[in-house]
Structure 1
Amino acid sequence: MKNVTEAPQLSSRLLRLALLWVILLIASVVYTLFLSKQMEITTEVMRRAGDIRAELYQVGYDLTTVHSKNLTVDIQGVVWRVDQTLNLAILDDGSTYRVMARDERIDKILSRIDETWRQSVKPLLLKWNETHSVGTSSRQEILAGLDSLNSELDEWQNLTDAEVNRNIVVLRYTQVALGGLSILSVIVVMWFLFASVLRPLNQLQAGIERLKAGDWKTRVHAEGTQEFSEISAGFNELATHLDDIYFNLESRVEEKTASLAEKNAHLTALYGLTAFLGEQHSVEEMLESFIARVLTLTGAPAAQVCFWNENRNQLESVLKKGLSESGTKECEKISEQFCQQIFASPYPVRIEEPDQSVNLDASHNRFILKVVYHIRYRQKNIGIFALFYRDKLSEDRALDMLLENLGRHFGAAIENMRLAALDQQMAVAQERNILAQNLHDSIAQTLSFVNLQVQMLEGALKDQNSEQIDDGIKQIKAGVQECYDDVRELLLNFRTRVYKEELGELVQSVLQRFERQTNVKTHLNIQDDGMTLSSTQKLQVIFILQEALSNVRKHARARTVMVNIRNDDSRFEMTVMDDGIGIDPQLLSERKQSHVGLSIMRERAQKVNAQIEIESEIDQGTTVKLILPKEGR
């Protein structure tokens, strides 16, 4: 990693190389522009010098010809332009003409040109311009000055030409240098790409090919830049990891296989226990199977199951395996405070008992480790089960979690069995209550009537009143017959069982039995297009129908009973109508809560979330309606 951090970055190299190339390019371009500007200035200077020479040549031509009096040039303008050019070239340091004055020769020639012009030529030309005539001596003097001035201008132009030639040479060398620099830059860039990019890539490619060929020991050292150093370091780590995986694959496969086998065993135990608990078994069978499965799964030599007694606030042993008789009461010896600590812990409780002699197996070997697991149903503590070991064991979180899950499943099964038993007890109690109400409403009242008739018969026998004796015997016979009919009806009603018969078949069977007992005609009308009733719902419907028919037999004095059943998607409705003597509505309202038969029908209707409605008028019969809404089904 030290080489990785100290190696220069590829991006920084590229940035420095690009920056150097840009600096050289800008400098070359600036220098070239500077030379071009010098040449432009030189050309301008040469043009102006040529103009001066042309105008002075015209002046000399006029002096040497017949035009001395009639000048063809503007002497005053020539003088002004020459003065202006010389002033700019000599006096103004910021002039473009002074840019070329870089050596003493140019400065000296300009001084001589200025001196010759101002002292020799300019005064004579101005005089000539004023008089428009010039003498022979003055003409010769002017011509001599012009010759001298032209010679100095030639010298200035020659020096300027030399300066131009020198700049041209420098410009050409600069262009050649730029071309060479471009070629050198291409070479440098190619070398840089090869050294910093292509060579490391080739090394990495070669390492990949060796790795693909199965050479797990291959390593690469693609150094030169930080990026490729990091890539090579990552490649080497990957190769090391693959090498480790390849050579340790067998051991890892064995470890994974063992782990999968262990998990499979745990799942098999969990699913097996769940399937077993889902079947119908007694508590003893469930305890035996649960402990056998736990001992097989853990390999523990002994185990004990204890249930929590809420009334006594202590644990009670219900099953032990592999423990001596002295260890049977171990659960009862655990204090209530320690029990609460066990129940409060979400994890198994490990108890080391190296010095206690109560935890012995059948061979009186002492156990030195006890692990206590919970038997729970949701938040309710059902009890515990403890596993005993002769040696100390390290914690196995996976096994502990599995055993806790087994304890929760076992606790759910135990609690469900308790609830089922409680529901069965409540159902039996309710049926007994209904039976007691029926006995009180029918048989008990009939027997009371028979008892009263017996007492009256005793009085008639004492008085030897034969008419009263005959009437008493008839009343007693009628009471006994009514009691017999009530008992038989109760027996038939409570023997009714609902299996897979359709509701129509069950109702038809009840009506046929009613007709045989009472000689009352019955009519049945069924419209069954809705959801099928459950077994519990069908049973309660039949019981309510039987109770309604029993009331018809006892009180209505009816000739016909009409039963209408309508079952659709909205609700289930059963109506029982008779053409008997009916009931006074006010009396029906007063006895609604106290009448035994009506109370029984309402209790049975409430069991299936149904409602009972009773309508009656004197001499208009009675209508009993059972309504089971869609929400109650």
Structure 2
Amino acid sequence: MTTNSAIQAPQLSSRLLRLALLWVIVLIASVIYTLFLSRQMEITTDVMRRATDIRAELFQVGYDLTTGFAMSLSVDVQGVVWRVDQTLNLAILGDESTYRVMARDERIDAIMGHIDEIWRQSVKPLLLKWNETHNITSADRHEILSNLDRLNGELDQWQNLMDAEVNRNIVVLRFTQIALGGLSILSVIVVMWFLFASVLKPLNQLQAGIERLKAGDWKTRVHAEGTQEFSEISAGFNEMASHLDDVYTNLENMVEEKTASLAEKNSHLTTLYGLTAFLGEQHSMDEMLESFSARVLTLAGAPAVQVCFWNENRGVFESILQKGLGESVSKECENIPKEFREKIFSSPYPIRAGMNRPGEAIESDFIQKVIYHIRYRQKNIGVFVLFYRVEQTQNRALDMLLENLGRHLGAAIENMRLAALDQQMAVAQERNILAQNLHDSIAQTLSFVNLQVQMLDGALKAKNQEQIDDGIRQIKAGVQECYDDVRELLLNFRTRVYKEELEELVKSVLERFERQTRVTTHLTIQNEGSDLTSAQKLQVIFILQEALSNVRKHAHAQTVMVNIRNNENFEMTVMDDGVGIDPKVLNERKQSHVGLSIMRERAQKVNARIEIESDIDQGTTVRLILPKEGR
């Protein structure tokens, strides 16, 4: 069955509409015709009633004339004349006249003319004369009775014609009713036949086709072409059956294809996950590139690969690793022309190219190379090139996987570079802190010792024993202070924070401080908040050591109070009872004082802040505040 035949078939809806419209038209016409016949019979009955009224009036007049009551009238002659005139006018010319129900022909015209003529010329004048004189001669009586007989005869003919018309209408009405009943029965038969031929039969054909299809007969086809709707359904059913037949026939091949496709995708995902996990671990650049190239060669089935990084300073590619390449193509990356490099960088897809370039004789058995990108976000880090001895067709899934591997390699390389930069930055920062500590402690002490040595040299030349003894004493004190500073620095830089609790670390620092300075310390800890991270604990200990170092060097204190409160915010307060600092001097030294700068830098590393309060002879308070937003 073709689509054209389905379109040319009549529509079920149009058939139903035409059938219903035809039935409604016939029904309405039959009802209207029946009503018309009934109305005609009503009018005919009314006309016959008027004829009967005329005859009754005339019969009463004739009765009076024949029974001898002519001298004393028992009827109203004037009223009879008027009523007969009105009845004849309505019967001939009125709305309910004879011509409304009967066709105008010669018989009707003759009868109605005779009735009108006899009445108006023969009967009516004599009756009016009789009514005026109240006396009638025997001749007039005889003439009136004779004319009344003639008038009654014409009225009889008139009534007979009306009776015939009524009988004809009754017969027509009966046949119309019979025809309407027969039409109803015929309509039911036609509707039943139409439903069977246009609906039930196609449905049964479709049902039978579905049952055969359920039984596994994939060659089943149906041809339910009764209407356009069922033709389209039949075409759709046949198309579905053909598709099922094709699917069933080729199911094994499709399963094999899907299995192979899933196996390939699984292999790709395994490679991608394996490489991602490998790159996430710590490896050297050589180990990372070796593993990457081995996986790529296995995945792509290529005999050779070359990994090249882009050198922005020189504007060329540099070969970092190559496998399976001879000397003739070992510098393939370095020889890429500038126009081709721009094409590589601008393309989001791998580039396929032949190995033979015009004007060059390359002794190689490779005929094709495919260049994939090594990128991190939008930054071009380099490329890796796969070489083939047989020209490869495009494989979008493999190309996408290799491009993703290149992006993962680019991210790993960039992360390695960033880690190296972070390490260098950390070393530089620690060296800067070490230099600041050396400058703030040992350098100043050595400068003081150098000054004392010069003064001692002058005292020796002047042989001033008092100055010599004082100089030696000052030099000994300076050397001892320098020794203490060196020892403190060594202890500070050996400090490592692993899994020790903060309270244990603080107590260890305070015990060491007491042993070195003989200054009494008091510790108060309120620990209800979350634990600090290792980095946060490390910076807190460094800041505490720096604060205690400043106490040892400058405060001349007897007691140090350390108060730690770990709630939503973390707060550590270090208070001493030393000589204090002038607030004006403190404000001037906030940016230049090495110890204060070191504490602020360490606090900024953990999103904390340092607050210092001091006054002359009132001691100094150093407060470290780590808000909950920075934890």
Structure 1 distance, partners of 2:366, 2:156, is 130
Pair 1:602-2:616 in alignment: no
Question: Which residue pairs with 1:97 in the alignment?
Answer: 98
| Equivalent position amino acid for 2:541 in 1 | I
Question: Which residue pairs with 2:13 in the alignment?
Answer: 11
Structure 1 distance, partners of 2:414, 2:159, is 125
Q: How does 1:321-400 map to 2 (within 5 A)?
A: 321-354=323-356, 365-400=364-399
Structure 1 residue 463 displacement after superposition:
4.4
Structure 1 residue 211 displacement after superposition:
0.8
Pair 1:20-2:22 in alignment: yes
Structure 1 distance, partners of 2:431, 2:357, is 57
Checking the alignment, whether the CA contact within 8 Å between 2:102 and 2:165 is kept in structure 1 is no
User: Deviation per CA, 1:438-465, whole angstroms, max 9, x where unpaired?
Assistant: 1122222222232333333344444444
User: Deviation per CA, 1:15-66, whole angstroms, max 9, x where unpaired?
Assistant: 2111221221122112212211221121111111111111111111111123
Question: Which residue pairs with 1:572 in the alignment?
Answer: 570
- Relative to structure 1, the CA distance from residue 137 to residue 466 in structure 2 (aligned partners, 3 Å threshold; closer, same or farther) is closer
**TM-score if structure 2 supplies the norm length?**
0.96
Checking the alignment, whether the CA contact within 8 Å between 2:47 and 2:96 is kept in structure 1 is no
| Equivalent position amino acid for 2:99 in 1 | R
- Relative to structure 1, the CA distance from residue 540 to residue 101 in structure 2 (aligned partners, 3 Å threshold; closer, same or farther) is closer
Structure 1 residue 257 displacement after superposition:
0.8
Structure 2 distance, partners of 1:28, 1:349, is 86
Structure 2 distance, partners of 1:629, 1:167, is 112
Checking the alignment, whether the CA contact within 8 Å between 1:357 and 1:366 is kept in structure 2 is no
Structure 1 residue 508 displacement after superposition:
0.7
Structure 2 distance, partners of 1:175, 1:373, is 93
User: Deviation per CA, 1:348-384, whole angstroms, max 9, x where unpaired?
Assistant: 1112113589998xxx742111111111111222111
- Relative to structure 1, the CA distance from residue 170 to residue 337 in structure 2 (aligned partners, 3 Å threshold; closer, same or farther) is closer
Q: How does 1:494-513 map to 2 (within 5 A)?
A: 494-513=493-512
Structure 1 distance, partners of 2:276, 2:550, is 49
Question: Which residue pairs with 2:591 in the alignment?
Answer: 593
Pair 1:416-2:418 in alignment: no
SS of match in other structure, 2:374: strand
Structure 1 distance, partners of 2:576, 2:381, is 55
SS of match in other structure, 1:66: coil
Unpaired runs of 5+ residues, structure 2, are none
Question: Which residue pairs with 2:148 in the alignment?
Answer: 146
- Relative to structure 1, the CA distance from residue 586 to residue 35 in structure 2 (aligned partners, 3 Å threshold; closer, same or farther) is closer
Checking the alignment, whether the CA contact within 8 Å between 1:529 and 1:568 is kept in structure 2 is yes
SS of match in other structure, 1:319: strand
Checking the alignment, whether the CA contact within 8 Å between 1:354 and 1:367 is kept in structure 2 is no
Structure 2 distance, partners of 1:543, 1:374, is 46
Checking the alignment, whether the CA contact within 8 Å between 1:32 and 1:174 is kept in structure 2 is yes
Q: How does 1:472-491 map to 2 (within 5 A)?
A: 472-491=471-490
Checking the alignment, whether the CA contact within 8 Å between 1:605 and 1:612 is kept in structure 2 is yes
- Relative to structure 1, the CA distance from residue 450 to residue 358 in structure 2 (aligned partners, 3 Å threshold; closer, same or farther) is farther
Question: Which residue pairs with 2:312 in the alignment?
Answer: 310
SS of match in other structure, 1:221: coil
Structure 1 residue 328 displacement after superposition:
3.2
Structure 1 distance, partners of 2:480, 2:359, is 74
Structure 2 distance, partners of 1:397, 1:455, is 82
**TM-score if structure 1 supplies the norm length?**
0.95
- Relative to structure 1, the CA distance from residue 326 to residue 522 in structure 2 (aligned partners, 3 Å threshold; closer, same or farther) is farther
Q: How does 1:29-44 map to 2 (within 5 A)?
A: 29-44=31-46
Structure 2 distance, partners of 1:612, 1:259, is 62
Question: Which residue pairs with 2:254 in the alignment?
Answer: 252
Count how many residue pairs are aligned between Structure 1 and Structure 2.
628
Structure 1 residue 83 displacement after superposition:
2.2
Unpaired runs of 5+ residues, structure 1, are none
Structure 1 residue 120 displacement after superposition:
2.1
| Equivalent position amino acid for 2:278 in 1 | F
Pair 1:545-2:544 in alignment: yes
User: Deviation per CA, 1:70-116, whole angstroms, max 9, x where unpaired?
Assistant: 111111121222222223334x2865322244243222222222222
| Equivalent position amino acid for 1:96 in 2 | S
| Equivalent position amino acid for 1:578 in 2 | D
User: Deviation per CA, 1:210-269, whole angstroms, max 9, x where unpaired?
Assistant: 111111111111112111111111111111111111101111111111111111111111
| Equivalent position amino acid for 2:293 in 1 | I
Checking the alignment, whether the CA contact within 8 Å between 1:602 and 1:612 is kept in structure 2 is yes
- Relative to structure 1, the CA distance from residue 525 to residue 340 in structure 2 (aligned partners, 3 Å threshold; closer, same or farther) is farther
Pair 1:449-2:451 in alignment: no
Moved more, 393-402 or 606-615: 606-615
Moved more, 102-111 or 276-285: 102-111
SS of match in other structure, 2:371: strand
Checking the alignment, whether the CA contact within 8 Å between 1:521 and 1:561 is kept in structure 2 is yes
Structure 2 distance, partners of 1:13, 1:481, is 120
Alignment RMSD = 1.9
Moved more, 261-270 or 477-486: 477-486
User: Deviation per CA, 1:418-442, whole angstroms, max 9, x where unpaired?
Assistant: 1111111111111111111111222
Question: Which residue pairs with 1:613 in the alignment?
Answer: 611
SS of match in other structure, 1:307: strand
Checking the alignment, whether the CA contact within 8 Å between 2:47 and 2:91 is kept in structure 1 is no
SS of match in other structure, 1:215: coil
Checking the alignment, whether the CA contact within 8 Å between 1:324 and 1:359 is kept in structure 2 is no
SS of match in other structure, 1:500: coil
